[in-house]
Structure formats: C-alpha cells, structure tokens
Structure 1
Amino acid sequence: MESSTSYASIFRPDLFLGQVALVTGGGTGIGRAIAHELAALGATVVVAARREEPLVETAAEIAAAGGSADHAQVDVRDHESVETAVAGVVERHGRIDLLVNNAGGQFPSPAERISPNGWRTVVDRNLTGTFLVTRAVFNASMGVHGGAVCSVIADMWNGFPQMAHTGAARAGVENLTKTLGVEWGPRGVRVNAVAPGLIYSSGMDTYDEAVRDGVAATASRIPAGRIGTESETSAAVVFLLSPAAAYITGETLKVDGGSSLAKVPLVPLEAHDAISPFDGFHLAREVPDSWGGGRSRTDRSAYRP
C-alpha cells in the first residue's frame, strides 16, 4: 500500500471541525486508526489508555499529519481513574462531543479454564470500562451539550467459542447501547456500536500462532472472501458519529464481511461423538459417519416405554 502523510478518509475533511473526540484504546490497533481519521476530519482527538508510550506516539503521528491531538492516561476499569481523566479532558478542551469506546482486551481459552480473575479482568475491560467511561463523559459534558458515542464490540452473535468472557461482555455492551440510546435521546446524545469481524490489525499480535493460523484459515470462508481492514472499521465508526447518522441510535452495525452469517470458531473444535443421537424413527436412514453420524443407532430399546 502506498504511504501518505495523512489519512485518506472517504468523508469530507471538515466533518468534525471544532469538535473534541475522546478515543479509548486509541494508541494502538483499530483505536489508532479511528483517532487518525477523526483528526483528519477536523476533530481535536484525545487518545486514552493505560500505557502512555503508545498514546504519545499516536498523538505525535497525528500532529505530524497536520491534526490536533492530546493524550490522557486512564484505567477504564477504575472509576476514579476514569473520572479524573475525563475531567482533565473537559478542563483542557472545554467539552467532549464524540466518544469512541475502543479500550478492551481478551485472551483465547476454553471456558472451563478461564479463572475467576481472568473472567473479571476481561469483563471489567470490555463491559464495565465502557459503562464507566460513557457515564463519566455524559455527566461531565454530553448531558449538557449532547454528543455521539460509538463503542467497538465484536462478532459474538452466535456465541464466541474460546472467548466466553469477551463474548458475554460484548453482548452486554450491545444491550447497554440500546438502553442508553433510549435514555439519553432526550438529552441530545446518540449511542451506537460497531461490531467488527476478523480485522487485520496490531491486535492480532497478542494471540499465539495457533489462533493466528485459525484466523487465516477462516478468511476463505467469510462471504466477503477476506479479512477486513482497520480503515473499514474506522469508516463505520465515523459514519455513526457523523450527522449522516442523526436518525440512528441504539443500534449496532456489523462490519464483518458477512462472517456473522456463518460463524466458525477461531480455533477449530475437536471431532467427537460425546453427544449421543436420538433416533426413534424405526424406518430412519442412518446418517453416514462421513456426515457426522457418530454412534450406532441400531439399539432403540432405550426409547421404548
């Protein structure tokens, strides 16, 4: 791909001129792309996360491209940290017009191996953190001035094998989005979400080789025929934050190339015959083993009264 000195957004350059945008998890991955695009469209962007180094780097990149950027350290799991960070942003910039809840994180694991602490950590990062930041921004600014919120969740519509913790948390954010869309409409605040499918970003580096291989193998089974890009996710977020979506609230936009229509696990499940079939029809054809026929269906005595 050809390099450029600024973000090549599909939207007009001054779309968010004079507005202030807070992007959690804005130092890396999808959040970094969103921060760059919002800045390219005229917003003053504040990137926020726990680690300061990526935030400083991203803010410097935005400034070098001619945009306006600031950063704020925050632990979205801690309400005091959130309140302090949001208050600081409002003090420095006067208000917050746009909020992108992108901070989160998870790790692949069979559900039975997720420790209570591991479960709490993922739920706190993805669900509790989204609530704490959104509430703080509403109370500090949007409740008075209005605004638009967009949360980045995930493709968890048919369950999330190997990711039970984040699937549950993201589903919670999707429901929270609906609730806040109703409650805050009279205050001029729209609340929406974007659910990316498999996206090629730096976030992939956090997973081991088996998961990355699984993702690569899955790509050919996505109706779009490929994995998505950070830019495609960012464009969906920008649309929902923009005036073009003025009549949209409480909704979640899937950006997954159709993968949610035919969900497959990131890590393939083992073949097994652990769940015995029921076959009470005495004239039924037996399912061939190659079709997953499994255990024999010849003994029907257990089904007779």
Structure 2
Amino acid sequence: MSYDSVYKPGLFAEQTILVTGGGSGIGRCVAHELAHLGAHVVLVGRKQDKLEATCGEIAEDGGSASWQVCDIRDEVSVQGMVKAVLAERGRIHHLVNNAGGQFPAPLIGINQKGFETVVRTNLVGGFLVAKEVYLQSLSKHGGAIVNMLADMWGGMPGMGHSGAARAGMDNFTKTAAYEWGHAGVRVNAVAPGWIASSGMDTYPESMKAMIRGLKDHVPLQRIGTESEVASAIVFLLSPGANFISGNTIRIDGAASQGTRAWTLGKGDTSQPYDGFHRAYLPDVFKED
C-alpha cells in the first residue's frame, strides 16, 4: 500500500522539505504524504530512533528522506542543523514547523521551569527554526512555512503554558508573513483540534475517559485524523495557496466555534478522510 493523497503525484518533485517533529504523530504523517508526492523530506527531532524509523518507512514505500537530530530550543544547534541540510541538499524549499509538546496541569500547578520549557518548545523553537531556514535559504529563493498551533482561542484550561505559546505562534505567523513576503516567502499555520494521534497516549490514566468523550463536544461528532491535518498543511505548501499568507486554518470540526449554551445535535454522517496507510489508532480509543 501507499499513501492515498488527494493531491496529484509529483506535486513536490525534486523539492526538499524540512519537517520538525517528523518522527511521530502528525509530523510523521505529513512526512509520509510529502514523500509520496515526490519531496525529499528531512526529518528533524531530538530522538534519533524515531527519526530513523520513519525514514525507514518512507524508504520502504519508495520515498526519499533523511534525518537530523536537533534540539530546536537551542539557537546554535538550529543554525548548525540548517547549515548541514543545505550542505547536503543545496536548498530548502519549504518548512513544516511541527515540533511541540506539553503536559496537562492547571496554571497553579505549573512552576517557572515547566512554563518556560513548554514555551521554548512550542514558540521559541519554532521561531528559531523558521528564522534560520529563512535566513539561510528561503530569503534567496522563496518558499512556504507552515507553523503548528492548537485550539487556543477560548483559552486552554489545563494547558495554559501551551495556550500562551500557541497564541504567540499565531502572532509570529502573521508578523513573519508580513516581514518576509517581499522575498516570496509565505507563512501560514494550522490549528488542529482533537486528532487521533499518538500524542493521545501520552496523557495519564485519569484523562482517558475524558479523551474518549471528546467527540461529543465536536459539531461533526467525531475527532479528526492525522491525514486531515496533513492535507491542510500540504495545501498551504502547494502552488494552489500561492496568494495565501498570514493565515491560520482551524482543523477541529468547528469545535472552537459557538458556545456551550448551544446543545450539539447527534449524528454520524461526517466521514473521516484517512489516507495514511501506516496510521494506527491510539490505544486510548481501543478501549472505547
């Protein structure tokens, strides 16, 4: 089997696309679809074993990929990583700024170190990678950047550190789009809602019942797939989005709209798109 993309074959032929956090979850799915569409994908992350595993999958499927171990929170490391990619590939055409992470806690349960760690991962790291890719490559040739956000418009109770960082990334996206547009660089973002991804299995046992009930709070009455996020990212990188910049696409089944005063209707007619042939259902949903 191969990735069942809705986009035409060869869409990114002979292009090099950097995907941070590409060893697992949504980043892994994005990397597979981009490779299926002809790109050479460079996976960036902190854990070499995950990066190697995903590169191996892509190679088995006939795609082209390589990896770079890098802590995106460290400016010197990011500068060296981008330089190394350019030495090997000559040019970076696009960037998927996907890497991130957080932990559940109320605001009063987050100390300074924990807050700063999440902000460095979800905001500072994304800024550093985008800036270096722009300075070392995109500023010379143009290209597109897609940043990763989350549904933080109504606040993020239980994850205030991540909400603050993601809100900052939304503003950074707009600013970078305006400042870098003269170089032919487009900067957009996606904000996934509740997605059936491996990250769902990182939360504690006490949250499992809540996670399984998330679909009841989505107007489309289901949670999303990794493929549905990847396809939006691919569109924003594609020529079809060449006059779209400074925007954020919410991929959440309209969960971020409306108010809790409105009772959602019940239904099961919304059909998911799942083109990722190597996707797997998170364990938390197998108990449902």
Give the TM-score normalised by the residue count of structure 2: 0.89
Partner of 1:14: 10
- In structure 2, how many angstroms separate the alpha carbons of the residues matched to 1:200 and 1:151? 19
> Which residues of 2 match residues 209-224 of structure 1 at below 5 A?
209-224=205-220
Alignment match of 1:121 (pick from 91, 103, 117): 117
Write the mapping of 1:1-305 to structure 2, written as runs, cut at 5 A.
4=1, 6-262=2-258
Once residues 219 and 36 of structure 1 are traced to their aligned partners in structure 2, the CA distance between those partners, rounded to angstroms, is: 26
1:201–1:229 CA contact under 8 A, matched in 2: yes
Cα 1:263–1:234 change in 2 (3 A) is farther
Structure 2: how far apart are the matches of 1:35 and 1:63? 12
Q: Contact (CA 8 Å) 1:228, 1:256: kept in 2 or not?
A: yes
Aligned pair count reads 260
Aligned mates of 2:155, 2:139 — CA distance in 1:
34
Superposition deviation, residue 211 in structure 1 = 2.2
Q: Whole-Å Cα distance in 2 between the matches of residues 263 and 76 of structure 1?
A: 37
**Is 1:158–1:263's contact at 8 Å kept on the other side of the alignment?**
no
217-226 or 27-36, which deviates more: 217-226
Shift of residue 263 of structure 1? 7.0
The separation in 2 between residues aligned to 1:211 and 1:192, in whole angstroms, is: 32
Secondary structure of the equivalent of 2:133?
Answer: helix
Amino acid aligned to 2:132: A
Code of the aligned partner of 1:141: S
Contact 1:25 1:104 (8 Å CA) reproduced: yes
Distance 1:263 1:180 in 2: 32
For the Cα contact (< 8 Å) 1:143–1:189, is it kept in 2? yes
Q: Percent identity?
A: 53
Q: Secondary structure at the match of 1:250?
A: coil
| Unaligned segments of structure 1, at least 5 residues | 265-305
Structure showing greater Rg: 1
Q: Which residue of 1 aligns with 2:284?
A: none
Shift of 1:153: 0.9
Cα 1:263–1:228 change in 2 (3 A) is farther
Deviations 1:246-304 (CA, angstroms, capped at 9, x unpaired)? 1100000000001101478xxxxxxxxxxxxxxxxxxxxxxxxxxxxxxxxxxxxxxxx
**Residue type at the aligned position of 2:252:** D
Q: Secondary structure at the match of 2:257?
A: helix
Structure 1 Cα separation of the partners of residues 9 and 53 of structure 2: 23
Q: CA RMSD in A?
A: 1.0
Which runs of 5 or more structure 2 residues have no equivalent in the other structure? 261-288
1:132-172 deviation line (CA, Å, top 9, x unaligned): 00001001100101110001110001100000000000000
Shift of 1:204: 0.8
Structure 1 distance, partners of 2:73, 2:107, is: 22
Q: Which has the higher contact order (CA 8 A, sep 6+)?
A: 2
Contact 1:63 1:69 in 2 (8 A): yes
Tell me how far apart the structure 1 counterparts of residues 255 and 242 of structure 2 sit (CA, whole Å).
Answer: 27
Where has structure 1 moved over 4 Å in runs of 4 or more? none
